[in-house]
Structure 1
Amino acid sequence: MASRWEELERWMEGQHLPKGFEVIREPDWVEKFVRGLMTKALPEASEVIKGKDTPGITETEQSITVQFRLPPGARRGDIGLYVREDRLRIIDRESGNRTMVPLPVLVQPKVCQAAVKSGILYIKLRKRRASKQYMEHYIRW
């Protein structure tokens, strides 16, 4: 396998690429590019790379839904859910495990709907609206 990579490297060195294409010769850039293509093409494979315990986050125009797989045998009083405007904290009181889930956008912590179905905790949060009001501030000279 290494010999094929060496052949590819020799071939790339011999190519006269136009300006701006020198980045293709860098292995780190190529790896990041291929990884990005794979995660877009095969979302299931990206979940394996990230880990099975990674919560799924879907986003709509007005809300965010987080899907979190609960541990087997979890009961009503075992799980604690805490919402902050930028993240969630899910606590398993039985085992003491804490999971922090960063959110892609800011949410309203007081507006939350949570339900458990088939061992998955579904959490729906309302996005926080951006303020359209300008605030004037003093500038020191």
Structure 2
Amino acid sequence: MKVVVQSCCGPEKVYGLVARKAAWILAEQLKPGKVVFTCLPRMAHGDEEARKLVEENPCITIDGCANRCARSVIEQSGGKPIVSVTVVDVLKENRQLMPRIQHLKALDEKGLKLAERVAERLAVEVDYLLEE
């Protein structure tokens, strides 16, 4: 069993970029081999392989904002997010990490730190999910 992480796409939105970076940090740096990504567009278009992945494994969603698009797509695809966070909620606890929008292809230092904070928070959840 692996934990599936799905971040929002949030095109042209800084919090979406933070969510994607947090998912990458979680899967590639903090919990490699234990966490896998899904592709949000594949999920939204009903891809059978992606749907099966979220139906058979515990899911974590990372959304940029309160719209919770990633969570919604996972649920519509038959998955049940066990843990769901928004970047905005984590930012409320870490106001000093408010990212500045320089350009939407890369995060500034605060944005990177915020992504790390989101990923670190979720790494604890991954450990808990895999213990069950």
| Larger-Rg structure | 1
Q: Which has the higher strand share?
A: 1
Per the normalisation by structure 2, the TM-score is: 0.21
Per the normalisation by structure 1, the TM-score is: 0.21
Q: Which has the higher helix share?
A: 2
